[in-house]
């Protein structure tokens, strides 16, 4: 008798969520725009959006979701056009509500005593008349959890904003929210989280802006 060859182990089904920060706008790095309407991509931001679409080519996408704000939707449009998928708006991906600080210049805000809390103990900070960082993180993580369950085993692209993306990455990494400001997420960059049932999430890439992403899924 010959010993039977054991069957190969079953491959764990994974769900990939690609988190894209919107492209650059005329106020990026100078103003805290928050949820104020009417902010569109700059020429550089539109080029970054096209680059995102190019990098996604060859990756089998199941769905595209975007924050309702114009700058995120405009970043998603080239990827939607290339893939033939519709852009679904998802309020869970929206920017943090900065309340009374919406539209303020960062140079002015950085001089406030509260700014130290924003940078060093964000878990204890709530924007005046707006959202707390804890609320923002819970909202973003909840939205991603719903999307990964709705598209189990698939590849989903989510167009969002810097702070929600950083907070989601911190949660996936098991990093305390007070340290999430150490994560860099540049305009037009892509970060990837992999999910498998029964396992903690795995962060595959952070702030990626160069290489094609087709290799994330075997053909």
Residues involved in catalysis: 22, 161
Confirm if 160 and 20 have CB atoms less than 8 A apart.
yes
Angle at 162 between CA 159 and CA 165, to 5 degrees: 65
Q: Which two tokens stand for residue 215?
A: 């290799």
Identify the CA nearest to 211 among candidates 74, 106, 55, 107: 55
Q: Cα dist. 50→56, 67, 80, 141, 201 in Å? A: 10, 18, 11, 27, 29
Confirm if 91 and 173 have CB atoms less than 8 A apart.
no
Q: Which two tokens stand for residue 28?
A: 């990026």
Q: Which H or E run includes 169? A: helix 162-173
Confirm if 55 and 214 have CB atoms less than 8 A apart.
no
């Amino acid at each position: 008798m010959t010993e039977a060859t054991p069957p190969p182990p079953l491959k764990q089904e994974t769900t990939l969520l690609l988190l894209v920060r919107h492209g650059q706008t005329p106020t990026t790095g100078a103003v805290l725009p928050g949820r104020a309407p009417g902010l569109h991509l700059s020429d550089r931001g539109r080029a970054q959006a096209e680059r995102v679409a190019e990098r996604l080519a060859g990756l089998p996408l199941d769905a595209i979701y975007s924050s309702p704000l114009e700058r995120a939707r405009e970043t998603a449009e080239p990827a939607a056009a290339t893939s033939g998928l519709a852009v679904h708006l998802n309020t869970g991906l929206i920017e943090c509500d900065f309340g009374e600080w919406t539209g303020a210049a960062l140079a002015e805000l950085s001089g406030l005593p509260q700014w130290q809390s924003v940078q060093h103990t964000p878990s204890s900070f709530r924007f005046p008349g707006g959202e707390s960082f804890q609320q923002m993180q819970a909202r973003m993580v909840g939205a991603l959890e719903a999307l990964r369950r709705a598209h189990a085993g698939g590849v989903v692209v989510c167009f969002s904003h810097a702070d929600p993306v950083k907070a989601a990455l911190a949660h996936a990494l098991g990093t305390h929210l007070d340290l999430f400001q150490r994560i860099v997420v540049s305009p037009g960059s892509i970060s990837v989280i992999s999910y498998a049932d029964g396992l903690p999430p795995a962060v595959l890439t952070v702030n990626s802006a160069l290489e094609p992403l087709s290799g994330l899924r075997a053909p």
